[in-house]
Amino acid sequence: MTEPTEPTESTPPPLPWNYTLFDFDTDTTRPVIDLDLAPERPDTPTTSKIGGTPYLPESHPFPEDEAGPMLFIAQFNFDELPELPDFPTTGILQLFVRNDSLMGLDSPPLARYIEHVDAPHTGSLPSYEDYPGPMEDPEEGMPLTGTLTSMTPTFNCKDAWEIGSESGHVFLRRGEEFMTLHATNEHIVVRRGTDTGVPQVQELEARTRFPDGVWLNPTQVQEKIASLVAEVEADGFAVDESMQERIVDAPFGFGFVFALGGYPSFVQLDRRPPGDPTICLAHIGSDEETIMFEDYGAANFFIHPDDLRTRDFSRVTFSWDSA
């Protein structure tokens, strides 16, 4: 780890190394492929698409698990998409989830990468006795086109909770220890760490709902932040004004409806545990005519950055949430 430099009049104070998202002298955007529905494109077996029939050569039949045939969500043909850093540049990535009443929410998904797309397509969709969704019609695929762009974290990204929001975010320090207090109209987030030592941030109160699901108004939120600050200051912490100046508001709003890479986007909450190192592999939102995760929900597939670079999709995780 690089030794921190002493601050000067022209350089800001060093940041806790595991809080680099606070450093807005660096770029917090991430590259992303914004995927758009393209009904004018022909739906072939190898087309990038939401739903329909995926590419099924003899070597890769339609997958099943203990619940039976899985649910096909999407496939991405990298030969027809812009290049995205660390992602494959050729081949096809397919995403499947368990066929159950929760549409795979509590079960491992299948992310299948087919590097060579030269074998003939021989498979077909299975017949479902009870199809729970999320496709409006599982047999009808919707082709996709992609545009390479960049994504800045929003209020609906987990990372945005570490950046701040209009509701209030305070950075405090006690020697090498630091703490961030963040309250929104619905939750409290408290994070604590040190400038040196083990690379982790301990989440003490993670997105804890206020009693009875009450939503606080802006004045009540500020009062909540003030009471939290007073409590922490009584324990020897002090507001670090130099850091406060570098915390910016995260805009409210979702990212893209369908995307590869970038930041995840949640309707409710991020189900990953604190400190989870995975990043967004793919984000699949809801569209009235094509796919719907319950009540305009959103699904995210996650992957460890090292696995993505080595093309190991065996540990991909999945979650979706809904309004």
List the Cα angle 248/283/189 in 5-degree steps: 40
Contact by Cβ (8 Å): 299, 109: no
* CA gap 165, 222 in Å, rounded: 12
Per-residue pLDDT band at 168 (split at 50, 70, 90): low
More confident residue, 238 or 19: 238
Question: Domain check: are 39 and 177 in the same one?
Answer: no
Find where tokens 């050729």 sit: 90
Question: Domain check: are 46 and 140 in the same one?
Answer: yes
Q: In DSSP terms, which residues pair with 88 in a beta bridge?
A: none
Q: Is residue 11 part of a domain?
A: no
Question: Domain check: are 131 and 41 in the same one?
Answer: yes
* CA gap 190, 208 in Å, rounded: 10
Domain end call among 198, 220, 244:
244
Q: Is residue 2 part of a domain?
A: no
pLDDT digits (tens, 9 = 90+) for 123-150: 999 988 888 788 888 889 999 999 999 8
pLDDT digits (tens, 9 = 90+) for 206-230: 333 444 455 556 677 677 778 878 8
Total domains present in the chain: 2
Statement: residue 249 has pLDDT above 70:
no
More confident residue, 53 or 187: 53
Question: Domain check: are 104 and 181 in the same one?
Answer: no
CATH assignment of the domain containing 203:
2.20.140
What confidence score (pLDDT) does residue 209 get?
41
Mean per-residue pLDDT, 259-275: 80
Question: Domain check: are 92 and 227 in the same one?
Answer: no
Q: Quick one: what percent of the chain has pLDDT higher than 70?
A: 69
DSSP 8-state code for residue 116: -
Q: Is residue 309 part of a domain?
A: yes
Per-residue pLDDT band at 267 (split at 50, 70, 90): confident
Question: Domain check: are 44 and 90 in the same one?
Answer: yes
3-state DSSP of 12-64: CCCCCHHHHHHCCCCCCCEEEEEEEECCCCCCCCCCCEECCCCCCECCCCCCE
Q: Is residue 17 part of a domain?
A: no
Mean per-residue pLDDT, 144-158: 80
Of the spans 108-122, 217-231, 245-259, which averages the highest pLDDT? 108-122
* CA gap 254, 153 in Å, rounded: 9
Domain end call among 219, 244, 269:
244
Question: Domain check: are 141 and 38 in the same one?
Answer: yes
What confidence score (pLDDT) does residue 30 get?
86
* CA gap 170, 109 in Å, rounded: 38
Question: Domain check: are 139 and 263 in the same one?
Answer: yes
User: Which residue range(s) make up the domain with 281?
Assistant: 31-152+254-321
Residues 6+ apart with CB under 8 A from 222: 168
Question: Domain check: are 202 and 141 in the same one?
Answer: no
What confidence score (pLDDT) does residue 316 get?
97
Mean per-residue pLDDT, 180-187: 60
Give the CA-trace dihedral at 16, 87, 249, 271, to 10 degrees.
-80
